[in-house]
Amino acid sequence: MRTILQIDKLITTLGKGKHDTGEVIAILPFSSKSAKEVRDHFFEVLGELVRNICELELKRKKRKPEDELSYTSNPVIEQILREIEYSADDEYDLERFLNQHLFGQDNRIKITHPYLYNLIPVPEKDVFKKFGHFIHNVLIQENEEIIALFKAKETNDILTELILNKLELPKREGIQKKEYQPLLDGFTKLYQEDLLYISKHKEYFISNFPLLTHFYIFIALHH
């Protein structure tokens, strides 16, 4: 089976006996010390992955203490409200409705459409962004069908489509370098075929995109 990575360099680096320092960090997406942290935040990593796919940024706004009790401290809801006409009397109810429609009790966004993955914030640590970039390089690459899948805003749900059409995330600046390559020949193609197959069934795709991606990444890192 043909490999694509620089195996000689990988063996030499890992042979030094340390897997979390030196050049190994440039070869692998995370160190052994941060593996559990990445696993615990895999949902957030998927947000970074999809922003890599769509070449978008999620701008963070620093929260003020007085914002803690306000729905509009959420930048997603703020942007939607700026694009909707409503009376001052309806503002509170509208904010509350949007918050309940888009977010769960844990303040985690409800994924009802592939584009909404773009709105998942990632912790401010390089390891999470690096891992999202790794998944993009290894599994997605430049597959146009997958890119179109996550960029599309069309849906049969009128309310969701209205919300999506009011959201405009800034484009990611610059061209991202391809830092990683798949180790197994045909591995990426299998993932892409599976992903596109389940995308034909909306609810199944929404529920199983994280599981499918986690499964393939587990194989990629443990083969």
Q: What is the pLDDT of residue 139?
A: 93
Low-confidence stretches of the chain (pLDDT < 50) are 1-6, 18-25, 63, 65-72
d(CA 216, CA 83): 39
- Please state the length of the chain: 223
The DSSP call for residue 90 is G
Q: Give me the residues paired with residue 171 across strands.
A: 56
Domain spans, the chain: 7-13+32-56+73-222
pTM here is 0.78
Whether the Cβ atoms of residue 106 and residue 158 lie closer than 8 Å to each other: no
Whether the Cβ atoms of residue 192 and residue 143 lie closer than 8 Å to each other: yes
Whether the Cβ atoms of residue 149 and residue 199 lie closer than 8 Å to each other: yes
Q: What are the strands, taking DSSP E only, across 36-103?
A: none
Q: What is the pLDDT of residue 43?
A: 94
Cα–Cα separations (whole angstroms), residue 136 to 34, 78, 95, 161: 19, 29, 34, 26
Residue among 189, 198, 196, 180 nearest 216 (CA):
189
d(CA 127, CA 40): 13
